[in-house]
Amino acid sequence: MAGEGTGAVGRVALIWDEAVASYDFGSGHPLAPIRVELTVDLIRRTGLVGNGVDEVRPPEFHEVDLLRLHRDDFVDTVRRLSNDPTARASSRYGLGAGDTPAFPGMHPASLLVCGGTREAARQVWEGEADHAFHPSGGLHHAMPDHAAGFCIYNDPALAIDWLLEAGAERVCYVDVDVHHGDGVELMFRDDPRVLTISLHESGRYLFPGTGDVTDIGGEGALGSAANLPFAPGTYGELWLSSFDEVVDPLIRAFAPEILITQLGCDTHVNDPLAHLALTVDDMGTIYSRLHRLAHEVCDGRWVATGGGGYRLVEVVPRVWTMAFAEMTGRTLPVETPMGWQELVVARTGANPPRSFHEDPVTLSPAMREQAREAAHSSVSAFRSLVLPHHGVR
């Protein structure tokens, strides 16, 4: 169970502002703000806040900082459509019918997301907190010149940029979302100070279609990008063993000063937008691995964001509460609190999960074998293409 692997820690920050619920693409869109609202409520009701664990409201995020990574014509377009979502805009900006439609107030809402992740990074870098979690962050698909995949501005990349300006010399970004962390990778693929690692379902089957294991960074920074793609049906034991074989030694060899993680939970077996086969218990184990690495490699400096995850009630709140419990070193109860279950019914009408645990996944032998073969191939290529750039043989 979350919180059992690393022991007590110092101060932990939960970055939260209720106004972030205004980052809302509208009724029926998969990225519904209720998933984060239910997460924060569950964190509170399980007693994780208090006694050195504080809620922190993010400060204002200014456009001058946004423009360090995003083009001014794109930002101007977001601002204009934020005031009038029906206005015309070139399709090249990625804001229209489909995944990332314009919505009223999207510019200030997106700035608030960016401010939250930067504050999480600042809290940890400046020693105000050992760990910080911003569940509304993790919009990793946003590009310098366009929105994509539900993401308007790239908050993890902006937080990393702030860290570099603040003096960080080695930053490691680990993305466990089922989708390739393409936007963050692109923004730092030529910077040897930043190592981006993405473990995701192969782009052969899933958006954004990138993240092949052969993608290892720009010519001046080979090895600065690392990708471990998986086949549909990849289950928790296989995902974790692959992580242990090549990602763990890579992070240790790079020796980052701070660990930034995107904890998308759309790797879940029942997620409607993807095809991997992890459980909430598997994800709790992943967070334990990341927590251990933060302490053993980065002097405990760990920043986490949310990300994808589209089982809004059954998965996201439980999984991210497990992540926060891991950060705090506290143990969760076996059952979810009755008050939270009642809130779920009142807000969504759905049947709430009653336990933090989940039964193992049953897969056909053929699917398990296909997933094993694909993982073995990815791990082998990762070992030969990425690890030598970091002195790992």
**Cis bond before residue 208 (omega within 30° of 0):** yes
Q: Which residue among 107, 141, 179, 389 is the active-site one?
A: 141
Cβ atoms of 272 and 226 within 8 Å: the answer is no
- Predicted local confidence at residue 4, as pLDDT: 43
- Predicted local confidence at residue 10, as pLDDT: 81
User: 141 an active-site residue?
Assistant: yes
Residue that is written with structure tokens 């101060």 in the block: 11
**Alpha-helix runs per DSSP H in 213-364:** 236-242, 248-254, 280-297, 316-328, 338-348
- Predicted local confidence at residue 337, as pLDDT: 98
pLDDT mean values, one per 10 residues, the chain (393 residues):
50 97 96 98 97 95 96 98 94 92 97 98 98 98 98 98 98 98 98 98 98 96 98 98 98 98 98 98 98 98 98 98 97 97 98 95 96 98 98 92
- Predicted local confidence at residue 9, as pLDDT: 62
- Predicted local confidence at residue 98, as pLDDT: 85
Cβ atoms of 142 and 23 within 8 Å: the answer is no
Positive or negative, the CA dihedral 147, 157, 21, 328 is positive
Secondary structure E strands in the chain:
12-15, 53-56, 131-134, 171-175, 194-201, 225-230, 258-262, 302-305
Residue that is written with structure tokens 């986490």 in the block: 304
**For the whole model, what pTM was predicted?**
0.96
Cβ atoms of 313 and 352 within 8 Å: the answer is yes
Dmax over CA atoms of the chain, in Å, equals: 55
Q: Rounded to an integer, what distance in angstroms lies between the CA atom of residue 231 and that of residue 378? A: 10
> Which positions ≥6 away from 388 have C-beta within 8 Å?
223
- Predicted local confidence at residue 48, as pLDDT: 97
Q: How many residues does the chain have?
A: 393
Q: Rounded to an integer, what distance in angstroms lies between the CA atom of residue 192 and that of residue 183? A: 17
Q: Rounded to an integer, what distance in angstroms lies between the CA atom of residue 209 and that of residue 227? A: 13
Domains of the chain, start order = 12-59+108-390 (3.40.800.20)
Four-point Cα dihedral 211, 110, 325, 279, nearest 10: -40
| Cα angle 49, 51, 57; round to 5 | 50
Q: Rounded to an integer, what distance in angstroms lies between the CA atom of residue 93 and that of residue 207? A: 18
- Local structure of 277: helix, strand or coil: strand
